[in-house]
């Protein structure tokens, strides 16, 4: 009995012990994060400089990426939990969102700010020229054409990709081949722009009249006795044809996403509509579309942003020649061919500003939710 009592009640602690415990706690609180940081840093250095076989480096990177990051959070969290509750409430959220914010600031925010700053200076970044670069951008005929082209990309690319995706989703859903269709039509999205440009070369290729045609379109024309057309050198048809490549890639994306949303539309509602005498078209327009509208908007805005930033397809197919240029290709030309840092930066900022309304509209969708 007594022994149990002796064990159950801990002996009173002296001042020395309290002090030691406190100091111990502080030391550990410092030691642990420091060690964690050192380990992460050592990992970083090793990954950076090591001459080990690539596969080893890759494996270490994966471990470091998951494990290291996890450890970082664990330690940060553990540290924070040591703080008094009010402080905890203030600091903990930043433990969660901090790293992402820091990385984004370094990779995107700061460069964006630097670019905005550079756009106010001349070609070498020496002389302050204010809004001159912007004035030049909007009055330069090449730029005006680029803006026209981006508008074409935006309107045609988004409307057709989303519209066709919607129509095809509705159609395919009623077919036995829906899974095959979804897979094959979505497939082009997995193909790189470089790969896509090779593929479409063989569709648009032009050989002089009388020569055997290597491109599919001209061959089809030839089968009807019509002369070959140089598709990519005549504007604005050439831009439209380039947009077709985007539509080819993105319609599948739209179709699949919208298709999945369609599955969530309650059948009873549709049946009720049909019983009330609505035609298929009315069912579609008045019942289906409104109920999946948020999905349609999400898809459309994603594609819209893509069209405004488009660069690879234009560069690979025409090099931006024949009046197919877009803002992103001009930006590259100004910055890297003409070595005009100021104008290149101005174009980048213009692109940024152009994309913003689309993002803003997308964000509005989520205001309705409990943010």
Partner 1 sequence: MQRKLAVLVGVAALVAACGGGATSAPGASGSPAAGGDLSGKTVTVGGAFVDIEATNFEAAVKPFEDATGVDVVYNGDKSFEQQLNVQVQAGNPPDVALLPQPGGMKNYASQGKLFPLPDDIIASIDANYGPGWKEVGTAADGKVYGVFHRVNLKAQVFYPKVAFEAKGYTAPTTWDELKTLMDKMAADGTPPWCIGIESGAATGWPVTDWVEEIMLRTVGADGYDKWVSGATPFTDASVKTAFQTMLDIYGNEKYVYGGPQYIVQTNFGEAPKAAFDDPLKCWLTNQGNFITAFFPEAITADLDNQVGVFTLPAIDSAIGTPAEVGGDQAVAFADRPEIWAFLKYLTTPEAGVSWQKAGGALFPYKTQDLANYSSALDKAFAQSLVDASFVRFDGSDAMPAAVGSGTFWTESVKLINGQQDIDTTLTNIAASWPK
Partner 2 sequence: MRTIKWSRVAINLTVIALIVVWTVPTIGLFITSFRDKQAISNSGWWTVFTNPQGAFTLDNYQKVLFGGDGLATAFLNTLAVTIPAVVIPILIAAFAAYGFAWMDFPGRRILFITVVALLVVPLQIALIPVLKAYLAIDLNGTFLAVWLAHAGFGLALATYLLYNYISQLPKDIIESAALDGASHFTTFRRLILPLSMPALASFAIFQFLWVWNDLLVATTFLGTDQDVAVMTSRLVSMTGSRGQDWQLLTAGAFVSMIVPVMVFLALQRYFVKGLLAGSVKG
Residues 11-30 that bind partner 1 (CB under 8 A): 28
State how far the Cα of 153 lies from the Cα of 307, in Å rounded to an integer.
Answer: 6
Among 322, 354, 362, 365, binds partner 1 (CB under 8 A): 322
State how far the Cα of 294 lies from the Cα of 359, in Å rounded to an integer.
Answer: 14
331 lines the binding site for partner 1 (CB under 8 A): no
State how far the Cα of 93 lies from the Cα of 98, in Å rounded to an integer.
Answer: 8
42 lines the binding site for partner 2 (CB under 8 A): no
137 lines the binding site for partner 1 (CB under 8 A): no
The pair of three-digit structure tokens given for residue 303, joined into one six-digit string: 């594609």
Question: Judged by CB under 8 A, which stretch of 8-16, 127-135, 224-232, 279-287 contacts partner 2?
Answer: 279-287
Contact 328, 208 (CB under 8 A): no
How large is the C-alpha radius of gyration of the chain?
30
73 lines the binding site for partner 1 (CB under 8 A): no
Question: Judged by CB under 8 A, which stretch of 11-19, 26-34, 134-142, 308-316 contacts partner 2?
Answer: 308-316
Among 36, 169, 181, 300, binds partner 2 (CB under 8 A): 181
Among 97, 135, 155, 226, binds partner 2 (CB under 8 A): 97
Give SS3 for 211.
coil
Peptide bond into 236 cis (omega under 30): yes
Instruction: Kindly identify the residues of this chain, within the stretch 199-218, that bind partner 1 according to CB under 8 A.
Output: 206-208, 211
Report the greatest alpha carbon distance in the chain: 112
Question: Judged by CB under 8 A, which stretch of 24-32, 143-151, 195-203, 225-233 contacts partner 2?
Answer: 195-203
Q: Report the residue number, 70 or 113, with the smaller CB distance to partner 1.
A: 70
Q: Report the residue number, 132 or 312, with the smaller CB distance to partner 2.
A: 312
What is the separation of C-alpha 245 from the centre of its chain, rounded to a whole number of angstroms? 19
With CA atoms as reference, report the closest residue to 83 among 43, 151, 25.
25
If you search the block for the tokens 């270490």, which residue do you land on? 60
Query: Which positions lie near partner 1, rule CB under 8 A?
Result: 28, 31-32, 35-36, 38-39, 42-43, 45-46, 48-51, 78, 206-208, 211, 230, 232-235, 319, 321-323, 333, 336-340
């Amino acid at each position: 009995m007594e022994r149990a009592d002796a064990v159950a009640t801990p002996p009173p602690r002296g001042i020395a012990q309290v002090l030691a415990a406190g100091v111990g706690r502080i030391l550990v609180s410092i030691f642990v994060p420091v060690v964690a940081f050192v380990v992460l840093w050592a990992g970083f250095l090793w990954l950076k400089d090591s001459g080990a076989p690539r596969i080893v480096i890759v494996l270490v990177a994966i471990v470091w990426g998951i494990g290291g990051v996890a450890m970082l959070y664990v330690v940060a969290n553990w540290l924070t939990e040591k703080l008094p509750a009010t402080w905890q409430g203030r600091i903990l959220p930043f433990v969660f969102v901090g790293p992402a914010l820091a990385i984004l600031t370094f990779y995107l925010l700061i460069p964006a700010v630097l670019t905005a700053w550079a756009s106010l200076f001349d070609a070498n970044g020496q002389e302050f020229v204010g809004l001159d670069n912007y004035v030049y951008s909007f009055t330069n005929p090449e730029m005006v054409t680029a803006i026209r082209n981006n508008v074409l990309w935006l309107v045609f690319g988004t409307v057709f990709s989303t519209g066709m995706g919607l129509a095809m989703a509705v159609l395919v859903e009623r077919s036995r081949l829906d899974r095959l269709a979804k897979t094959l039509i979505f497939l082009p999205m997995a193909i790189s722009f470089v790969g896509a440009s090779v593929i479409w070369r063989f569709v648009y290729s032009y050989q002089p009249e009388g020569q055997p045609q290597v491109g599919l379109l001209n061959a089809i024309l030839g089968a009807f006795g019509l002369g070959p057309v140089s598709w990519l050198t005549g504007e604005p048809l050439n831009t439209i044809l380039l947009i077709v490549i985007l539509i080819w890639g993105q319609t599948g994306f739209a179709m699949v996403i919208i298709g999945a949303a369609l599955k969530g539309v309650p059948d009873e509602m549709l049946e009720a509509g049909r019983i009330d005498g609505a035609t298929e078209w009315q069912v579609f327009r008045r019942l289906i579309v409104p109920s999946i509208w948020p999905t349609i908007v999400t898809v459309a805005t994603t594609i819209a942003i893509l069209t405004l930033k488009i660069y690879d397809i234009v560069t690979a197919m025409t090099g931006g020649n024949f009046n197919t240029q877009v803002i992103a290709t001009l930006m590259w030309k100004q910055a890297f061919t003409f070595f005009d840092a100021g104008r290149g930066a101005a174009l980048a900022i213009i692109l940024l500003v152009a994309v913003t309304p689309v993002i803003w509209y997308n964000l509005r969708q989520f205001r309705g939710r409990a943010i």
